[in-house]
């Protein structure tokens, strides 16, 4: 399997829309917002709010990650979306996208990456994924998304050594 990470291009948009819809975990409203952020990321200049990295497997786009600097902070970034087409899941693509997002943030001076996910069973694999990747729970809001569906906030701080290893 040949895996490559590159910036997401306008020509990738339709394929990623299909990937978002194929991931049954996202609601139609979530897909709509994710596509808005893709459009803003594609349009954005050097100080954009959203940055998009694409994963190709054997030359074919299978997933992407969206990060951006958190407003009003000096060096905190948010991971907004990570999506891998179900047909390409289970092969480490998500892990590579996550690592690439962290390297991107560190390269731009970011010192921590925050993300929010759901407490529901369908997100158990996502939570385990973030915990394995070194993310710690920093907050929880009961019934945030809807009754019975809490928001769990995760954060990973980049130490000097992790910043150095990404730069070397």
Least distance (Å) between residue 145 CB and its own copies = 5
Least distance (Å) between residue 23 CB and its own copies = 15
Q: Which is nearer to its own copies, 59 or 74 (CB)?
A: 74
The dihedral built from the CA positions of residue 103, 130, 136 and 73, taken in this order, carries a sign that is positive
Q: Which is nearer to its own copies, 51 or 158 (CB)?
A: 158
* DSSP code string of 116-159: EEE-SGGGHHHHHHHHHTT-EEEEEEEEEEETTEEEEEEEEEPP
Q: Which is nearer to its own copies, 39 or 58 (CB)?
A: 39
Least distance (Å) between residue 116 CB and its own copies = 9
Exposure on the CB side of residue 58, measured as CA atoms within 13 A: 3
The residue count for the chain:
168
Report the C-alpha gap between 145 and 162 in whole angstroms.
Answer: 33
| Ramachandran class of 143: left when φ > 0, alpha when ψ lies in -120 to 50, beta otherwise | left
Least distance (Å) between residue 138 CB and its own copies = 5
Q: Which is nearer to its own copies, 142 or 165 (CB)?
A: 142
Chain residues binding its own copies by CB under 8 A are 27, 29-30, 33, 70-76, 111-112, 114, 138-147, 153, 155, 157
């Amino acid at each position: 399997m040949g895996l490559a990470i590159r910036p997401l291009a306008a020509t990738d948009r339709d394929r990623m829309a299909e990937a978002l819809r194929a991931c049954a975990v996202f609601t139609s409203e979530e897909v709509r917002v994710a596509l808005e952020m893709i459009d803003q990321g594609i349009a954005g200049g050097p100080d954009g709010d959203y940055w998009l990295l694409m994963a190709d497997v054997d030359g074919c786009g299978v997933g992407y990650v969206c990060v951006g600097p958190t407003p009003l902070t000096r060096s905190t970034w948010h991971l907004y979306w990570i999506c891998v087409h179900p047909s390409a899941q289970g092969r480490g693509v998500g892990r590579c996208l996550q690592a690439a997002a962290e390297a991107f943030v560190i390269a731009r001076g970011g010192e921590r990456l925050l993300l929010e996910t759901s407490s529901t069973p369908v997100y158990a694999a996502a939570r385990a994924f973030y915990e394995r990747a070194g993310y710690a729970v920093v907050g929880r809001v009961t019934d945030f998304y809807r009754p019975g569906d809490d928001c769990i906030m995760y954060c990973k701080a980049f130490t000097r050594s992790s910043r150095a290893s990404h730069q070397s």
